């Protein structure tokens, strides 16, 4: 299992970082992120890579995540193979593997998505191997002008979960907001707002706020960052994350991120949705390794 996982991860990283099979590449990205926080004695490293490859009516998608903070490390690999049955309508099989020091898990399943000119919708099913947990996702997006709305309904471990998001993006500015909650109510969730302002072609300012819904705007994380585009596809960003609110623990998290990306967005609806959720995630949560985990995954 570990040998297969390591090989798959290495191949994904190599294909994403290089120009392998460049003629059919629809999307590729690689991120190297370093975190440090003195009060928690945290020093962590996060690697993420992804690629979508078009081969006729087939679409091959793969992504990998590696996280290590010295005390805990984990690896995640996900891949799918899809076939376009009708124009815009694709059926696919998928698998996700998670390997950490504490547990190993595999999710496999089927999905179907429809992608039109201004919208995408998907039904995504997964069977979790070790925990014997079934996961269902109905999700999609709608584009209108410079705006995109996202939404999802998920069921896992006999519970329902919901997500709604909105993004406004133009040449110099993009602002995104996402909120998630459970069937217990809006208070059982959190909300994030992230904004990026670009100026003088190469420079970028980032600001974000994340807060639990039951203490919305009273407690949470505040992200501030500055980015520089080394090339059209390669960006370097430095960020500072702190907390606000009387009951929030002190935090002074410093982040350095190097990101390479070509292509507007992921090909699969579920992957584009996942990227949107990650893009609205505070660096404070990323520093804990949250990107390793698949939504709905159970460890009971």
- Cα torsion through 77, 95, 290, 28, rounded to 10: 50
pLDDT tens digits, 174-187 = 999 999 999 999 99
pLDDT tens digits, 203-234 = 999 999 999 999 999 999 999 999 999 999 99
Are residues 180 and 162 in contact, defined by beta-carbon separation less than 8 angstroms? yes
- Cα torsion through 60, 20, 107, 111, rounded to 10: -10
The residue ranges of every structural domain in the chain are 2-292
Whether the model pTM is above 0.85:
yes
Q: 132 in helix, strand or coil?
A: coil
CA distance linking residue 177 with residue 168, whole number of Å:
9
pLDDT tens digits, 71-123 = 999 999 999 999 999 999 999 999 999 998 888 889 999 999 999 999 999 99
> 2-292 — its CATH code?
2.40.160.10
Enumerate the β-bridge partners of residue 100: 74
Average pLDDT, the chain: 89
No. of helices (H) and no. of strands (E), the chain: 3, 16
CA distance linking residue 29 with residue 289, whole number of Å:
19
Are residues 176 and 196 in contact, defined by beta-carbon separation less than 8 angstroms? no
Per-residue pLDDT at 7: 45
Model confidence at 4: pLDDT above 50:
no
DSSP state of 112: E
């Amino acid at each position: 299992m570990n040998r297969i996982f390591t090989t798959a991860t290495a191949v994904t990283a190599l294909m994403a970082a290089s120009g392998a099979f460049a003629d059919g590449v629809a999307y590729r990205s690689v991120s190297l992120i370093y975190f440090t926080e003195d009060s928690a004695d945290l020093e962590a490293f996060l690697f993420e890579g992804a690629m979508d490859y078009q081969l006729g009516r087939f679409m091959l998608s793969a992504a990998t995540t590696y996280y290590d903070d010295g005390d805990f490390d984990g690896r995640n690999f996900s891949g799918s193979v899809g076939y376009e049955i009708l124009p815009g309508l694709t059926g696919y099989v998928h698998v996700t593997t998670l390997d950490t020091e504490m547990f190993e898990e595999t999710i496999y399943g089927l999905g179907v998505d429809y992608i039109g000119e201004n919208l995408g919708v998907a039904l995504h099913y997964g069977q979790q191997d070790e925990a014997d947990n079934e996961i269902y996702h109905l999700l999609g997006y709608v584009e209108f002008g410079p705006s995109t709305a996202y939404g999802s309904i998920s069921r896992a471990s006999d519970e329902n979960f919901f997500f709604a998001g909105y993004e406004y993006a133009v040449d110099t500015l993009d602002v995104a907001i996402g909120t998630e909650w459970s069937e217990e109510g809006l208070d059982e969730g959190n909300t994030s707002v992230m904004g990026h302002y670009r100026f003088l072609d190469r420079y970028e300012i980032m600001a974000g706020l994340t807060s639990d819904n039951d203490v919305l705007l009273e407690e949470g994380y505040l992200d501030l960052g500055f980015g520089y585009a080394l090339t059209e596809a390669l960006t370097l960003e430095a960020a500072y994350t702190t907390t606000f609110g009387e009951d929030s623990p002190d935090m002074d998290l410093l982040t350095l991120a190097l990101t390479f990306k070509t292509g507007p967005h992921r090909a699969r609806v579920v992957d584009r949705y996942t990227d949107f959720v990650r893009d609205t995630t505070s660096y404070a949560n990323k520093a804990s390794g949250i990107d390793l985990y698949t939504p709905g995954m159970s460890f009971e």
